Homo-oligomer: A and B are copies of this chain.
Amino acid sequence: MQEPLRLGLAGLGTVGSSVARLIEQHGDDLAARIGRPVRVTGISARDRSRSRDFSTTGIEWFDDPVALARSDATDVFVELMGGEDGVALQSVTTALEHGKSVVTANKALLAKHGNRLAQLSEEHGGALAFEAAVGGGIPVIKTLREALGGNRVSRVYGILNGTCNYILSRMEAEGISFGDCLRDAQALGYAEADPTFDVEGYDAAHKLSILTSIAFGTRIDRDSIFIEGISSIEPVDFAAAEELGYRIKLIGVAKRAESGIEQRVHPAMVPKDCDIARIKGVTNAVAIDGDFIGSLMLSGPGAGGNATASAVVGDIVDLARGARTPPLGRPTSSMEPYVRAKIQKHAGGYYLRLNLPDRPGAFASIARRMADAGISLASIVQRNRPAGAAPRSELDLVQSVVIITHETTEEAVRGVLAQFEAEGDVHGRPQLIRIEEF
């Protein structure tokens, strides 16, 4: 039996504590699998005095995570503090510069600094592993980086944010508003006090940027992602989706397009009977299309201390066994720059919900404009007020119409919507949800 692999664990929140507990509980089994014991030998966290749900006996305390990262007693630095800069960046950089391996669950850090950190890892010989950064416990990084190494990937997509999926699942099931649902999610601990990061799509975008890099061999470019959140989705959109055979999901999609690689995070109408449509609640799912594999899907817990700890320890097991995979699936020297496909060139169907003035010819006018723009309509659902009922408010003077287009381009759709607004053809902001076929 070799010397123990010594872990320096920075960050003892939900995930960090679960990692320590896992190693405590399964230490013997891990040693048997690996042929070498794994021990947490140093820890660092914000509050030293807090009681922990694992034994800290014999574990050295560090006030400064950077000191833990460079300590001679640390073989692998496990960064679970979070944050895209600051002490997380500083300590991870330090560990790598000292030739130590790093395991992290920090998607924000990787989305922003991943290219440079991967290079540091190569230069100094320590590994950089981050299975837990995307999809919680789902081994999607390993799958893309290793198992699908023989494929030319054409698309990777999925449900990458559990908070959004939870909110959308409940809105759909209960017909309640986004705001009510968000408050409930916050009360239950499924959404943060400041939910912007999740509900506006940034968290999913960070994760997508990492997947894109590995899938397509391009440098991480989180700033080139088209992002829309879910806060504008209304109960009426779910009702229309149901009627038209769709569900609404916040998806992340990266795919090869003519002008480059599309990276998008936005709510989408997905066919009711597809696998992605069936993913409910806080579950995540990632699907990968490749030229030899065809299509593969992984689904499981996208968050939570234990599931994320499972991914972190999976990485530790790999390192302990001596695995050295390039962090982004290939040496940074052979990665290509990311070329962003223009969102205006995005081709697909669209769901549009428009409020039209209740006057003769209102629909004919928008239909003509769409025809002129070369947009052909697949379905139209018009909801009039009950025949003979008098208008009760100004709102009753408009009629809501839902349109599903055949495949067209973002450019064409945006063009006609701008016309509608300029010419007063519609009341208020039109709703636009892209349709995604799998």
Report yes or no: B321 in contact with A293, Cβ–Cβ below 8 A. no
Q: Is A317 on the interface with B (CB-CB < 8 A)? A: yes
A294 in the interface (beta carbon within 8 A): yes
Neighbouring B residues of A321 by C-beta, 8 Å: 323-325
In whole angstroms, how far apart are the Cα atoms of A32 and B150 in the complex?
11
Q: Which chain B positions have C-beta within 8 A of A138?
A: 296
Residues of B with C-beta under 8 A to A128? none
Are B293 and A301 neighbours in the complex by a CB distance under 8 Å? yes
**Is B278 within 8 A of A314, CB to CB?**
no
Contact A149 B307 (CB under 8 A): no
**Chain B nearest CB, measured from A40 CB (Å):** 13
Task: Tell me how far the C-beta of A50 lies from the nearest C-beta in chain B, rounded to whole angstroms.
Answer: 22
Q: Is the CB of B143 within 8 A of A139?
A: yes
Q: Is the CB of B292 within 8 A of A18?
A: yes
Q: Say yes or no: B298 contacts A294, CB within 8 Å.
A: no
Whole-angstrom distance between the Cβ of A326 and the nearest chain B Cβ: 8
Q: Bound state CA distance, A307 and B264, in angstroms?
A: 27
Knowing A26-B150, A131-B147, A293-B137 are in contact, say whether A330-B298 is a contact too (CB < 8 A).
no
Tell me the bound Cα distance from A316 to B298 in angstroms: 22
Q: How far is the CA of A400 from the CA of B131 in the complex (A)?
A: 53
Mask, A6-43, CB within 8 Å of B = 1, is 00000000000010001100100110111100000000
> Can you report 24 A-B residue pairs in the complex whose CB atoms are below 8 A from each other?
A22-B150, A26-B151, A32-B217, A32-B331, A33-B329, A35-B331, A35-B334, A137-B294, A139-B142, A139-B143, A139-B146, A142-B142, A142-B147, A146-B318, A148-B314, A149-B318, A150-B310, A151-B310, A275-B278, A290-B310, A292-B307, A295-B301, A321-B323, A323-B323
A309 near B150 with CB under 8 A, answer: yes
Determine whether the beta carbon of A294 is less than 8 Å from that of B299. no
Q: Chain B contacts of A307 at CB under 8 A?
A: 292-294
Give the residues from 127 to 180 in chain A that come closer than 8 angstroms, CB to CB, to chain B. Answer: 131, 137-139, 142-143, 146-152
Residues of chain B within 8 A (CB-CB) of A297 are 298-300
Asked if A386 is at the interface (CB within 8 A of a chain B CB), the reply is no
Contact B278 A317 (CB under 8 A): no
Q: Is A306 an interface residue (CB 8 A)?
A: yes
Contact of A275 among B217, B294, B299 (CB under 8 A): B299
Q: Is A311 an interface residue (CB 8 A)?
A: yes
Q: Are B324 and A324 in contact (CB under 8 A)?
A: no
What is the CB-to-nearest-CB distance from A28 to chain B, in angstroms, rounded to a whole number? Answer: 10
Tell me how far the C-beta of A153 lies from the nearest C-beta in chain B, rounded to whole angstroms.
11
Q: Does A322 contact B (CB under 8 A)?
A: yes
Let me know if A313 is at the binding interface, CB within 8 A. Answer: yes
